[in-house]
Amino acid sequence: MGADTEPGKEDRCQELAKSSSFHHRIYSEVEEIGWENLVKLGDDLTFLSFRVMDKNGRVHILELTLEKTYPNCPPSVAADVPYIFNLVWSMDSKLKDVVLQFQRHLEKLQEFWLTLDDIDKTLWIAVPKHLHSSLSCRLINIGDDCCIMLSLNAKDPRELPECRFLGSDAKVHHLRKKWRINGKRCMLPIDRIKDETFTDNLAKILDMPLPKPPNKQKNDNQIECGVCYAQYLPIDDELGANSGSGTDYTCENSNCSRAFHSVCLGDWLCSITTTRQSFDILFGNCPYCSNPVAVRIAGGK
Amino acid sequence: MTSPSPSSRKSLSKIACNRLQKELVEWELNPPAGFKHKVTDNLQRWVIEVNGAPGTLYAGETYQLQVDFPEHYPMEAPQVIFIPPAPLHPHIYSNGHICLDILYDSWSPAMTVSSICISILSMLSSSPAKQRPADNDRYVKNCRNGRSPKETRWWFHDDKV
């Protein structure tokens, strides 16, 4: 009996020792990346997600799933990117190496996202309403009840994209013809030298001006104040003219674009010592992205 | 135990109330792992149960955080302390006060109760030893009159733990 339980106990001890060294390893590897970048941590530490910022200030979430045998086998990686990178993994690799490889991958994707930013800002996007960094498709309203479905090549966003036309037969036929004839000439690598944007090229190929996004799209975006979390300030005599007003200030960093009530942002800036004031304008930083912001002091009617 | 700090004795402003209700809803939909909000009808004082993360020095231990919100939250940070007995940690005093920059100088309205909780848990998780701060006795004696940690002038000298 005793001889039976002893090895069992030893196994259990070994198992515990193994799991404790696993935990230690993960904690010290998270430390290397920085706890402030950790978004989620699974209870048994086999799931981690990190916030990684690319050089244009876009924030990405990198999700890692670990086997209990980590680091003997590489973590599996998921992220909001159109295609994932091939993880290079050796016995000396650490989670930090995954983050570094992910950052290099993000570098490669910058042109792709810049192209999509151009499309999203200049054209009338029908679908998707909520843009996600991994999507390379856009359904674009080009007026006259016609839409085009563009799929960009994430590896080479300047390549002629795949395009499908939706609308009445006559119009679609006309557009297809234009696409066939002009498509080869535009979007050639030579256009990269000239400072032409993707959307300029697209308008040239289709040989028509493309409609701009309608203004109402602005209201679809986030409109709640990043300080008080409400769209409208409460009705309150203390707030004077601002009582009940909606958000009226947006962070100018296009990757942040947080909305604020200038009263709320101003109150916050007034309460910290790093804010500078010139006449009735406060100069400080966005609480979300630290981009410089400037707001007029509340009550300066 | 702990008397309310002078800043939180005044009742919440409408703006603070509204924001806290939204934070509470968000917390209920998506609570940070390892934490449990104890339901009360008091929006101005949250009591939160913290479970030490598995594999750390505090695994299997449970502590309670008391979060008091000032009248003008989120312009000001909430007051966050451990309800004694507080975990043994080089940055946590025996009276429950916590030396953590985001609770004082580095607070910003972009943070939430949930993000504070995650920071506190990571502070616990990276602790190398279960011990009190070197100046524990002196500090706790100075706080006997029920002083809020927000009135302490903190030194954030150690960014490793």
Contact B18 A229 (CB under 8 A): yes
> What are the tokens at B161?
């733990």
Contacts of A229 in chain B (CB under 8 A): 18-19, 22-23
Q: What is the Cβ-side half-sphere exposure of residue A30, based on CA atoms within 13 angstroms?
A: 29
Whole-complex ipTM? 0.85
Query: Do you find a cis peptide bond into A161, omega within 30 degrees of 0?
Result: no
- Of the candidates A26, A38, A264, the beta carbon closest to that of B122 is on A38
Residues in chain B: 161
Structure confidence at residue A188 (pLDDT) = 55
Would you place residue A215 in the very low, low, confident or very high pLDDT band (cuts 50, 70, 90)? low
Query: What whole-number distance in Å separates Cα of residue B71 and Cα of residue B59?
Result: 35
Query: What whole-number distance in Å separates Cα of residue A118 and Cα of residue A222?
Result: 20
For residue A126, how far is the Cα from the chain centroid? 19
Query: Which residues of B does the annotation mark as catalytic?
Result: 99
Which residue of A35, A263, A285 to mutate against B (max B Cβ within 10 Å)? A35
Contacts of B119 in chain A (CB under 8 A): 35
Q: What is the per-residue burial (b if ≥16 Cβ within 10 Å, else e) of B106-137?
A: ebbbbbbbbebbbbbbbbbbbbeeeebbeebe
- Judged by DSSP in three states, B77 sits in coil
Which residue of A227, A238, A272 to mutate against B (max B Cβ within 10 Å)? A227
Contacts of A236 in chain B (CB under 8 A): 14
Which pTM value belongs to this model? 0.52
Strand partners, A283: A276, A294
Mean pLDDT, rounded, of chain A: 84
The model's pLDDT over B20-71, given as tens digits with 9 standing for 90+, comes to 988 988 888 888 999 999 988 789 999 999 999 999 999 999 999 999 999 9
The model's pLDDT over A131-182, given as tens digits with 9 standing for 90+, comes to 778 888 888 888 877 888 888 889 888 888 888 888 778 888 888 888 888 8
